Amino acid sequence: MLRDQIQEIISAAVDAAKSAGELPDVPIAPPAIERPKQAEHGDFSTNIALVTTAAVKQATGEKANPRQIAQAIVGHIPVDGLVGAVELAGPGFINIRLSQQFLQTQVRAIIDAGDTLGSIDRGAGQRWQVEFVSANPTGPLHYGGARNAVLGDALASVLTAAGYEVEREFYVNDAGNQFDLFVQSLYARYLQLHGQEATIPEGGYNGAYMLDYARQIQAEVGDRYLTIPRFEALQEMRAKGRAIVLADLQDELGLIGVKFDRWFSEKSLYDEGLVEQVLSDLTETGDIGEWDGARWFLASKYPKNEKDEVVVRTNGMPTYFASDIAYHYDKFVRRGFDRVVNVWAVDHQGHVPRMGAIMAALGLEPERLVIVLYNLVKLIRDGQEVKMSKRSGDFLTLREVAEEVGADAVRFLLLTRSPESGVDFDMDLAVAQKNDNPVYYVQYGHARICSILEKAAGEGMPTAAQPQPGDADALALLVHPAELDLVRKILELEEQIDFAVEKLSPHNLTHYALDLARTFSSFYEQCRVVDGDQPALTRARLLLSLAARTALARVLGLMGMAAPESM
RNA sequence: GCGCCCGUAGCUCAGUGGAUAGAGCGUUGGCUUGCGGAGCCAAAAGUCGUAGGUUCAAAUCCUACCGGGCGUACCA
């Protein structure tokens, strides 16, 4: 990364100053390189002199002057190539400005990077899994699930851009209570379709969509399930119901552009005996014991856990937690992911400590499992919170929101917030403001550039993507502040990607995308691109416009949004 | 009660110990005859919940308190 190069330059300058005897030879941490808030403070700044002052004071007991120290370091920073200017400012900050020539030459590099623009090698050689959504397969996703989908998907994209090999996984809870209730509810609906008396079980699923599902089954099997015993009918319906609900979920997630590499079945863990195997392994290691007629995982042996957890109930039925242990064994031991990121709503926070206990019991480094918690989405109507219930069928689905507000607008809306911030979602307001969504500003910038490039092509100019002999000379004409600022802004993308990975949250991308679009607009207002009287400058600005389009398309792609050529 | 998270402009939210705390929406005023006005420029708008502490430097770290959300199942 560019920032790393700057850091190396500063480090080298510190060493050189020490060798020259201009700095006392005390240990100094690697300099922190920051992006100043204000443009006058340059492209990068470092507080190394202030930090060094403290280090010198501690080592020698003598008071040092931070500005003097800064001056000594500045004297050893070469001004050539990358660095255009170095300034000493304020109490002892060192501000660095990128050279004009460097910025100009980056334009072609940006274009050539294309859809790998901003990629970094932070995760090279690392295989990560992002498991997200993983909603119960009992019906359409509600709106809160959309936040999970948007967050997990963008996170996976950003990790990929940072060099990790990433798999997106949806854990299908097709074993256990909720799925049983779903199948029984489905069976009841099926019977009702055939005019038979049937009631939805206590705690079952009443939503209207269940009738649609039942009709699909009816269309497939006719009245076959009336002719075979209930037990067998339910058995078959498990598979059919599963296929139908997964198809529905897949379709719904597809509306906001989310695709999974793998849909992992909880039931498969039982079918192949992995749950039983892992439970018996842990019994041997003393992590699972039996009392009060149940089998328990001794979580309290491990830090941050106060209680033990039931894995097999008194009635002999395993809990969700039992398969969760086997599932994570599968992820780490069998499939060998270096790291797994689970995206959970904050109401599952109580599980976090016991997941740490699982890792410890399985002999795995706890940091290999990361849980990203995001806050809940509250639905507001007429200023009041609306409680949603999947069982009663009274809930706002992701599909409804995506259709009414627009997929990209929904993604943007949910992605701008940091995960820990709660979201109050007012559907009426969202619909009313849907054309004011900031995502359209970003997309508009992209479409506008496409239009400019098309106009240039229409006037017989060579395409910007195709290198021309005089390009290097033409790019040297980019000296307007708005032109250089645009290049600067594009070059920030890699740091934004790095930051998103560092924080395991891609929400900064939305702010960056807006910033980038604004920077392009500013260039567009101040610098006419296509000008027949100035062919070389036109060429340079076409290249810069293409670079901006590349960056806009890239960041929109990372966020899972379209980059339209017209709108 | 205990644990985790949040409190920043009218609203919704960003903000990596650093220099004058930002954006979108809303409000007010201006920009027609040049590549897309879904745009641009400008203005008003802040006790960063409160009080202490650490630091050369705190919205950011620590402590207490106030307000809100979530959790504290042989549910998932």
Of chain A, the end-to-end C-alpha distance in Å amounts to: 34
Q: Does A540 reside within a domain?
A: yes
H or E element that contains A44: strand A44-46
Q: Are residues A76 and A181 in the same domain?
A: no
Owner of token pair 């006058």: A40
User: What per-residue confidence (pLDDT) applies to A393?
Assistant: 67
Chain A residues 282 to 301 whose Cβ lies within 7 Å of strand B are 292-294
Cα–Cα distance, A107 to A490 (Å, whole number):
9
Q: Does A360 reside within a domain?
A: no
Q: Are residues A440 and A545 in the same domain?
A: yes
Phi/psi at A377 (5° precision): -105, 120
Q: Are residues A438 and A554 in the same domain?
A: yes
User: What per-residue confidence (pLDDT) applies to A380?
Assistant: 79
DSSP labels, A497-558: HHHHHHHT-TTHHHHHHHHHHHHHHHHHHHS-S--TT-HHHHHHHHHHHHHHHHHHHHHHHH
Chain A residues 316 to 355 whose Cβ lies within 7 Å of strand B are 319-321, 346-351
Neighbour-count burial for A227-240, b at 16+ CB within 10 Å, e otherwise:
eeeeeebbeebbeb
Cα–Cα distance, A272 to A279 (Å, whole number):
13
Q: How many domains does chain A have?
A: 3
User: What per-residue confidence (pLDDT) applies to A55?
Assistant: 81
Per-residue flag: A97 CB under 7 A of strand B: no
What is the CA A348 to chain-centroid distance, rounded? Answer: 19
Six-digit token pair at A417? Answer: 């917030």
Per-residue flag: A361 CB under 7 A of strand B: no
**Nearest nucleotide, CA A424 to C1':** B12
- Å from the A98 CA to the B24 C1': 30
Q: Does A422 reside within a domain?
A: no
Which one, of A141, A49, A133, lies nearest residue A89 by Cα? A49
Which one, of A512, A545, A530, lies nearest residue A446 by Cα? A545
Per-residue flag: A538 CB under 7 A of strand B: no
Q: Which residues pair with A46 in a beta bridge?
A: A33, A94
- Å from the A514 CA to the B23 C1': 9
Residue A253's SS3 state is helix
Q: Are residues A444 and A544 in the same domain?
A: yes
Q: Are residues A442 and A531 in the same domain?
A: yes
- Å from the A453 CA to the B48 C1': 45
Q: Does A150 reside within a domain?
A: no
Chain A residues 190 to 219 whose Cβ lies within 7 Å of strand B are none
SS (H, E, C) A287-355: CEEEECCEEEECHHHCCCCCCCEEEECCCCCECHHHHHHHHHHHHHHHCCCCEEEEEEEHHHHHHHHHH
Is residue A183 within 8 A of residue A236, CB to CB? The reply is no
Q: Which residues pair with A127 in a beta bridge?
A: A165
Structural domain including A85 reads 2-98
Contacts of residue A479, Cβ cutoff 8 Å, sequence gap at least 6: A100
Q: Does A358 reside within a domain?
A: no
Cα–Cα distance, A281 to A477 (Å, whole number):
70
Q: Does A138 reside within a domain?
A: no
- Å from the A530 CA to the B34 C1': 10
Strand B nucleotides, any atom under 7 Å to a protein CB: 3-7, 12-16, 18-26, 34-41, 56, 68-76
Q: Are residues A554 and A455 in the same domain?
A: yes
Q: Are residues A93 and A182 in the same domain?
A: no
Each residue's pLDDT expressed in tens, for chain A with a length of 567 residues: 999 999 999 999 999 999 999 988 888 888 889 999 888 899 999 999 988 888 887 777 777 888 899 999 999 999 988 999 999 988 889 999 999 999 999 999 999 999 999 999 999 999 999 999 999 999 999 888 899 999 999 999 999 999 999 999 999 999 988 999 999 999 999 999 999 999 999 889 988 999 999 999 999 999 999 999 999 999 999 999 999 999 999 999 999 999 999 999 999 999 999 999 999 999 999 999 999 999 999 999 998 898 999 999 999 999 999 999 999 999 999 999 999 999 999 999 999 999 999 999 999 999 999 999 999 888 877 767 777 766 666 778 899 989 988 999 999 999 999 999 988 888 888 888 888 899 999 999 999 999 999 999 999 999 999 999 999 999 999 999 999 999 999 999 999 999 999 999 999 999 999 999 999 999 999 999 999 899 999 999 999 999 999 999 999 999 999 999 998
Cα–Cα distance, A138 to A217 (Å, whole number):
15
Cα–Cα distance, A58 to A36 (Å, whole number):
28
Angle at A522 between CA A105 and CA A514, to 5 degrees: 90
Cα–Cα distance, A62 to A53 (Å, whole number):
9
Is residue A382 within 8 A of residue A129, CB to CB? The reply is no
Per-residue flag: A508 CB under 7 A of strand B: yes
User: What per-residue confidence (pLDDT) applies to A423?
Assistant: 86
**Nearest nucleotide, CA A441 to C1':** B38
Q: What is the DSSP letter of A46?
A: E
Q: What is the DSSP letter of A29?
A: P
User: Where does a domain end: A98, A119, A144?
Assistant: A98
Q: Are residues A554 and A440 in the same domain?
A: yes
Per-residue flag: A47 CB under 7 A of strand B: yes
A1 by Cβ neighbours in 10 Å (0-12 / 13-18 / 19+) ranks as middle
Q: Are residues A86 and A200 in the same domain?
A: no
Owner of token pair 């296929």: A243
What is the CA A233 to chain-centroid distance, rounded? Answer: 42
Q: Does A59 reside within a domain?
A: yes
β A127-131/A93-98 pair status: unpaired
Which one, of A109, A171, A467, lies nearest residue A340 by Cα? A171
Six-digit token pair at A289? Answer: 């014991």
- Å from the A282 CA to the B8 C1': 49
**Nearest nucleotide, CA A292 to C1':** B74
Write down the pTM of the prediction.
Answer: 0.95
Cα–Cα distance, A315 to A321 (Å, whole number):
15
Cα–Cα distance, A94 to A420 (Å, whole number):
34
Which one, of A416, A443, A374, lies nearest residue A506 by Cα? A416
Nearest amino-acid residue to B6, taking CA and C1': A421
Per-residue flag: A90 CB under 7 A of strand B: yes
- Å from the A381 CA to the B9 C1': 25
Phi/psi at A381 (5° precision): -140, 125
For A63: left if phi > 0, alpha if psi spans -120 to 50, otherwise beta; the answer is beta
Is residue A566 within 8 A of residue A514, CB to CB? The reply is no
- Å from the A225 CA to the B76 C1': 29
Q: Does A29 reside within a domain?
A: yes
Q: Are residues A438 and A553 in the same domain?
A: yes
User: Where does a domain end: A223, A254, A285?
Assistant: A254
H or E element that contains A64: none
User: What per-residue confidence (pLDDT) applies to A433?
Assistant: 81
Per-residue flag: A130 CB under 7 A of strand B: no
Which one, of A372, A374, A425, lies nearest residue A398 by Cα? A425
Owner of token pair 């599932």: A327
Chain A residues 365 to 384 whose Cβ lies within 7 Å of strand B are 373, 375-376
Per-residue flag: A305 CB under 7 A of strand B: no
Domain CATH for A34: 3.30.1360.70
Cα–Cα distance, A464 to A332 (Å, whole number):
47
Domain CATH for A504: 1.10.730.10
Q: Are residues A438 and A543 in the same domain?
A: yes
User: What per-residue confidence (pLDDT) applies to A425?
Assistant: 83
User: Where does a domain end: A200, A227, A254?
Assistant: A254
Q: Does ipTM top 0.90?
A: yes
Q: Are residues A181 and A84 in the same domain?
A: no
Cα–Cα distance, A477 to A385 (Å, whole number):
57
DSSP labels, A423-465: EEEEHHHHHHTGGG-HHHHHHHHHHHHHHHHHHHHHTTPPPTT
Strand runs labelled E in A67-215: 83-89, 93-98, 127-131, 165-172
- Å from the A387 CA to the B71 C1': 18
User: What per-residue confidence (pLDDT) applies to A383?
Assistant: 67
Alpha helices in A169-229 (DSSP H): 177-193, 209-221, 224-227
